[in-house]
Amino acid sequence: MKDPYLMLAGGALLLFQPLYFTLPASIYFVVQKRFPGGWGIVSFPFIWVTFEWLYALSECAFPWLTIGNTQTYSLEKIQFAEITGVYGISLWVLLLNVLFYFLIKKLLIEPTVSKNNLYISVGIVVLYILPNLYNSTINESQFHSHRSLTVGVVQPNVDPWDKWEGANTFVGRWNQVQHYLQLIGKQRNDSLDIVVLPESAILLNLPAFYEQYSEFKKIVDSLNVGVVSGYIKVKYYEPDNAPASSSTVKGTDIRYDSFNSVLYVEPGTKGVQSYSKMRLVPFAERIPYADHVPFLIEPLRWGVGISNWGLLKDSTVFESSTFNTKFLGMVCYESIFPEFVSAFVDKGAEFLVFITNDSWWGNTSGARQHNQFAVLRAIENRRWVVRCANGGISSFIDPIGRMYSTTSMYTQDFIQHRIEPLTAKTFYTRHGDWIARICAIVTLLIILFSIGYPLVKKQK
């Protein structure tokens, strides 16, 4: 156990997640008691999906347990996510379970081939094969374009504890940057267009240091490749304009924020494009609603000093004039928020870059699950996904959800793949979580009816 705070935060999450989902379970319990017949049971999928969606909206969100996330290995079943998103998959799974419940219940009461049992069985079969029928209508040629580029991914496999605790000087951090540039140089080839480095690979506000950035840019120009990398952006405030959640430079009254950010540097061009993470892991990266509870920041600061990231709303879509394309660059668990990702695609992103540092997970299933969830973002938006993780798993995912060049955990590796930027927008990209919103309306009507029905029945 390298950090007690990390263990405490993880334990709190294990308690909070099931505690939150007692809310839809409790509502269902009340509704089921008040609804006539089996209608209360039919309401369960809509109630559950509503709360999956609502849970993802707050700063406390960690929507890892969305039921639709479980289906990423069944590509032939989930292609309809380009219409409904992951919440449509959740609804489909839950409706199937409800039908199975009715069938088993009726068979226990009446173990014969009755008309009702036959109807339910047919319903199960139809609902089960509908996704396959939709899959059969997909024409893969629509996911090809006349443009393509080769993207490389550097998986450095740097121990995150050593990185943050060991590189505690400016020189140490700059040496790390030079090490990454050397790794890129070793893998450089004529077909390579863009190289991606993982989350917080650069522990400096690099563009603010003229000498170091000039050297960095000179090497990028000489390699003739664009570089996408995680880095630490820093913003200083006037004393009167500092957010309540900002930090203070030790021994001074200077206020500042650090941001978990992504930069894109293109060869032969000036300037740096930057995006700062907007969905921060609760407690591990930022105290939820920190501006309203600043007194909790210091007591709950993580030992490696990254539990108080600043929060920006820049919503950058990176643009490459060299390759005539646009793309999003997101950090870590931002990739598990479906509508958040689709909003950037709707703004013009033609492929998706997710950078992460899943080495924090240790030898658990977390990193593997995180990699799989990116399959859904590829299908929902019909975009290529480039996934770069510090210690694994890194991969490329095509618009159908097929995975390529998958790396192993805790290995230093380099992978590259030819991808095609795409511009067509799916129904989900344009309309977001519409299926979840419909479920929310249905749930509200169910709650109102469950309140009103007993009163009307009583009056009769």
What number of CA atoms fall less than 13 Å from residue 59's CA on the CB side? 14
pLDDT at 251: 81
- 1 in helix, strand or coil? coil
| Judgement on whether residues 261 and 361 belong to the same structural domain of the protein | yes
| Judgement on whether residues 20 and 110 belong to the same structural domain of the protein | yes
CA distance readout (Å), 133 to 119, 138, 306, 336, 440:
20, 9, 47, 27, 28
Q: Which amino acid is at 281?
A: V
Mean pLDDT of the 384-403 span: 96
Residue 427 falls inside a structural domain: no
CA 156-257-332 angle, to 5 degrees, is 35
Residue 393 falls inside a structural domain: yes
pLDDT at 215: 95
| Judgement on whether residues 78 and 198 belong to the same structural domain of the protein | no
**Residue 213: φ, ψ to 5°:** -65, -40
Q: CA 459, CA 75: separation in Å to the nearest integer? A: 52
Residue 357 falls inside a structural domain: yes
Of these ranges, 62-66, 270-274, 415-419, the one predicted with the greatest mean pLDDT is: 415-419
Which of 284, 301, 391, 333 lies closest to 11, judged by CA? 284
Residue 5 falls inside a structural domain: no
How confident is the model over 268-300, as pLDDT tens digits? Answer: 888 899 999 999 888 777 777 767 666 666 655
CATH number of the domain to which 342 belongs: 3.60.110.10
Confidence band of 93 (pLDDT split at 50, 70, 90): very high
Element (H, E) at 229: strand 226-237
pLDDT at 3 over 70: no
| Judgement on whether residues 266 and 212 belong to the same structural domain of the protein | yes
Structural domain count of the chain: 2
How confident is the model over 292-333, as pLDDT tens digits? Answer: 666 666 655 555 545 678 888 888 999 999 999 999 999 998
Residue 365 falls inside a structural domain: yes
pLDDT at 458: 66
Please confirm whether the linkage preceding 78 is cis (ω < 30° from 0).
Answer: no
User: What six digits make up the tokens of 177?
Assistant: 């940057």
CA distance readout (Å), 420 to 91, 280, 352:
32, 30, 11
Confidence band of 357 (pLDDT split at 50, 70, 90): very high
pLDDT at 206: 94
| Judgement on whether residues 54 and 40 belong to the same structural domain of the protein | yes
| Judgement on whether residues 135 and 152 belong to the same structural domain of the protein | no
pLDDT at 452 over 90: no
Q: Which amino acid is at 375?
A: V
pLDDT at 110: 79
| Judgement on whether residues 361 and 273 belong to the same structural domain of the protein | yes
The neighbour count for residue 435, using CB atoms within 10 Å, is 22
Length of the chain as a residue count: 460
Q: CA 355, CA 353: separation in Å to the nearest integer? A: 7
Query: DSSP readout, 319-384?
Result: EETTTTEEEEEEEGGGGG-HHHHHHHHHTT--SEEEEE-GGGG-SSSHHHHHHHHHHHHHHHHT--
Q: CA 420, CA 203: separation in Å to the nearest integer? A: 31
Residue 412 falls inside a structural domain: yes
pLDDT at 45 over 90: yes
Residue 1 falls inside a structural domain: no
Confidence band of 61 (pLDDT split at 50, 70, 90): confident
Q: CA 376, CA 75: separation in Å to the nearest integer? A: 9
| Judgement on whether residues 46 and 73 belong to the same structural domain of the protein | yes
Query: DSSP readout, 413-448?
Result: EEEEEEE-------HHHHH-SHHHHHHHHHHHHHHH
Out of 27-41, 47-61, 171-185, pick the least confident.
Answer: 27-41
| Judgement on whether residues 132 and 57 belong to the same structural domain of the protein | yes
| Judgement on whether residues 195 and 125 belong to the same structural domain of the protein | no
The DSSP letter of residue 280 is P
Mean pLDDT of the 121-134 span: 97
CB 359 within 8 A of CB 410: yes
Mean pLDDT of the 184-204 span: 93
E-strand stretches of 161-254: 194-196, 226-237, 247-248
pLDDT at 288: 76
| Judgement on whether residues 288 and 324 belong to the same structural domain of the protein | yes
Q: Which amino acid is at 214?
A: S
Residue 195 falls inside a structural domain: yes
pLDDT at 315: 84
pLDDT at 331: 96
The DSSP letter of residue 387 is E
Q: Can you give the residue range of the structural domain that contains 255?
A: 146-422
| Judgement on whether residues 135 and 151 belong to the same structural domain of the protein | no
How confident is the model over 333-356, as pLDDT tens digits? Answer: 899 999 999 999 999 999 999 999
Average pLDDT of the chain?
Answer: 89
